[in-house]
């Protein structure tokens, strides 16, 4: 048996979305018209590399924080490595208020 042609980006998107919505591997394969192993490999590849949208060219979303905020966040994490996820934003936001008040 020879290999079939690669799936289009649209088909890959359909596989990823169907799997994220809870569709079974068999139903996803029937929807797209490919093998079950193709569904598994494409979904695993997407999980490793990030979402399919992230791999495309031209899709850019601005970050939630700017470069200065990233440096502040890194400084807070370095100063207290055992901080919980709930404590880190409090410390970062408290620092931004203190810096903005001066």
As for how many domains the chain has, the answer is 2
Q: What is the domain extent for residue 21? A: 9-55
| pLDDT score at 57 | 52
23 in a structural domain: yes
Distance, CA of 24 to CA of 98 (rounded, Å): 51
- Taking 50 as the threshold, does the pLDDT of residue 17 lie above it? yes
Segment 60-70 shows an average pLDDT of 76
CA within 13 Å, CB half, 74 = 7
Segment 14-24 shows an average pLDDT of 89
In percent, the amount of the chain with pLDDT more than 90 equals 11
Q: Do 51 and 73 have their domain in common?
A: no
Distance, CA of 53 to CA of 32 (rounded, Å): 18
What pTM was estimated for this model as a whole?
A: 0.45
């Amino acid at each position: 048996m020879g290999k079939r042609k690669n799936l289009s980006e649209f088909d890959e998107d359909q596989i990823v979305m169907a799997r994220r919505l809870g569709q079974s591997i068999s139903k996803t394969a029937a929807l797209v018209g490919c093998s079950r192993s193709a569904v598994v490999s494409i979904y695993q590849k997407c999980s490793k590399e990030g979402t399919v949208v992230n791999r495309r060219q031209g899709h850019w979303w601005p970050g939630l924080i700017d470069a200065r905020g990233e440096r502040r966040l890194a400084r807070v994490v370095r100063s207290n490595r055992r901080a919980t996820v709930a404590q880190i934003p409090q410390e970062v936001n408290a620092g931004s208020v203190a810096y903005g008040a001066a």
